[in-house]
A and B are shown apart, each in its own frame.
Chain A
Amino acid sequence: MSARLATLAAALFLALGAGAARAQDRLVVFAAASLRNALDEAAAGYPDPRPVISYAGSSSLAKQIERGAPASLFISADRDWMDYLQKLGLLVPGTRHDLLGNRLVLIAPRDSKIELPIRPGMPLLRALGGGRLALGDPYHVPAGMYARAALESLGVWSSVKAHVAATENVRIALALVARNEAPLGVVYETDARVEPGVRIVGRFPASTHPPIVYPMALVKGAAPAARDFEAYLRGERARAVFRKYGFTPLN
């Protein structure tokens, strides 16, 4: 009886193993978490075999690439992390392009009644009412770094920095607000638009933070198919999708 069960298990395992297309044969793309919905839809329009996309905070992705992760293409949410890899010589020279732009917004749960105009000295701490401000890690994650820059230039960072819920990527911050775990959060406008559980309280003026740019580049050792996909993302079809989600396609 146990011999038969073991054989069955082995057969099942082999079947599943053989069946699941191995990611080594497919193109692997590392992309910032905030790109999720838009990039998934853009990639859906790409002919098979479709690339495999791994989403996380740009800082995590960059460190993984540094450790030899098999990504062919990297799309970061800020220039710093792309620079980081470039300095380490891990990018294919001449393949770096600025792909998209974005905007930073202050959000609250959908049913929240908070009104808070964004201007210098705004009463952010009071508005938090004892809760925490959800944002990406303000020292590593691009969305968090942009948020910190904006709050610093508005003069309110020092008052709220001890009341922050720092997350590994911006989408976790988004989820915290959507689930009413945090009364307020700072995310990209594109994130707020895909999450029906939040409402936008205000937009941070572009002058309060460095321009939000999503650079894209091929990683050293990239599969040849990567170039096609990279070109596709800069093409009109993909740009239309990005625009739909609220990104600003750059040249």
Chain B
Amino acid sequence: MLLSASEIEVLGLSLKVAFTGVVASLPVALALAYLLARVDFPGKILLDGIVHLPLVLPPVVIGYLLLVALGRNGLLGAWLAEHLGIVFAFRWTGAALAASVMGLPLAVRAMRQAIESVDRRLEAAASTLGAPPLAVFASVTLPLILPGVLNGMLLSFARSLGEFGATITFVSNIPGETQTLPLAIYSLTQVPGGDAQAMRLCLLSIVLSLSALVVSEIMLRRARRRAHGA
């Protein structure tokens, strides 16, 4: 067995948290990217700034804000727990939420760039052929921005795998529940003689991120070739 049982548990949790975070943030990121790329409205610059905040603020700040808003006693958190039974604090769902918030700006940037580079004349051609706006988006825009969307999701995924500050502040460090790979490594650095194990997890982290990057690059190239008709 290459990995011990506890290492597999940490790995599984990290993947689950990162994957869930990315998938949950996809519609939000896509909508924001479309809005910022195509629509003009008052306060657009402000929205752009807010979307980029997780990139420039200390992760701990984001984690703390999430705690204030969505913790068990938080403004929204209490309501969600009582009326919908949804709890984020100290749960893997909270770790996924922290991950998706931290990864959002990267996803939005990549998707926005992709949307901005779509030849709008193709969309115009599609509408002259009778396609209503939603159909134009689904059959023309979406296939053409797919490489960018994948890229954005992947960047968000990689960021989520490495997310630490917001996670430990918002959902703390509970093995099996919120102890993702970075948190596990952090804990091990405090264990006497834990250096060897910490290094193993570091290598695992590298292998994971590298694999994710390689897979994405392959997928990106295939999607790009398809979009340009190879």
Q: Is A140 an interface residue (CB 8 A)?
A: no
A 135-178 binary contact with B (CB < 8 Å = 1; else 0) = 00000000000000000000000000000000001011011001
Q: Is B175 an interface residue (CB 8 A)?
A: yes
Q: Is A19 an interface residue (CB 8 A)?
A: yes
Q: Is B27 an interface residue (CB 8 A)?
A: no
Contact A178 B192 (CB under 8 A): yes
Contact B192 A194 (CB under 8 A): yes
> Which of chain B's residues 96-115 have a Cβ closer than 8 Å to chain A?
none
Contact A20 B12 (CB under 8 A): yes
Q: Is A16 an interface residue (CB 8 A)?
A: yes
Using C-beta atoms within 8 Å of the partner chain, give the interface range for chain A: 35 or more
Contact B223 A2 (CB under 8 A): yes
Contacts of B165 in A (CB 8 A): none
A33 in complex: contacting residue of B9, B20, B190, CB < 8 Å: B190
Contact A67 B176 (CB under 8 A): no
Contacts of A60 in B (CB 8 A): 172
Contact status of A169 and B89, CB under 8 A, knowing A2-B219, A5-B219, A67-B72: no
How far is it, in angstroms, between the C-alpha of A135 and the C-alpha of B125 when the chains are bound?
70
Contact status of A17 and B172, CB under 8 A, knowing A67-B67, A171-B191: no
Contact B19 A54 (CB under 8 A): no
Contacts of A28 in B (CB 8 A): 174, 177
Shortest Cβ distance from A60 into B: residue = B172
How far is it, in angstroms, between the C-alpha of A53 and the C-alpha of B187 when the chains are bound?
12
Contact status of A54 and B173, CB under 8 A, knowing A196-B192, A196-B193: yes
Shortest Cβ distance from A175 into B: residue = B190
Q: Is A203 an interface residue (CB 8 A)?
A: no
A70 in complex: contacting residue of B15, B71, B90, B190, CB < 8 Å: B90
A39 to chain B, nearest CB (A): 12
Contacts of A182 in B (CB 8 A): none
Contacts of B12 in A (CB 8 A): 16-17, 19-20
Q: Is B13 an interface residue (CB 8 A)?
A: yes
> Which of chain A's residues 3-57 have a Cβ closer than 8 Å to chain B?
5, 9, 12-13, 16-17, 19-24, 26, 28, 33, 36-37, 52-56
Contact A54 B174 (CB under 8 A): yes
B177 in complex: contacting residue of A24, A68, A197, CB < 8 Å: A24
Shortest Cβ distance from B175 into A: residue = A52
Contacts of B189 in A (CB 8 A): 172, 175
Spell out A's residues near B (CB within 8 Å).
1-2, 5, 9, 12-13, 16-17, 19-24, 26, 28, 33, 36-37, 52-56, 60, 64, 67-70, 169, 171-172, 174-175, 178, 191, 194-197
Cross-chain pairs A/B with CB under 8 angstroms, 26 sampled = A5-B215, A13-B19, A20-B16, A20-B176, A24-B91, A33-B190, A36-B191, A52-B175, A52-B177, A53-B175, A54-B173, A54-B174, A67-B67, A67-B71, A68-B89, A68-B90, A69-B172, A70-B174, A171-B190, A171-B192, A172-B189, A172-B190, A178-B192, A191-B192, A194-B193, A196-B192
Spell out B's residues near A (CB within 8 Å).
9, 11-13, 15-16, 19-20, 67, 71-73, 89-91, 172-177, 179, 187, 189-193, 215, 219, 222-223
Given A68-B71, A70-B174, 7 further pairs, Cβ under 8 A: A5-B219, A13-B15, A13-B16, A20-B16, A33-B190, A68-B89, A169-B190
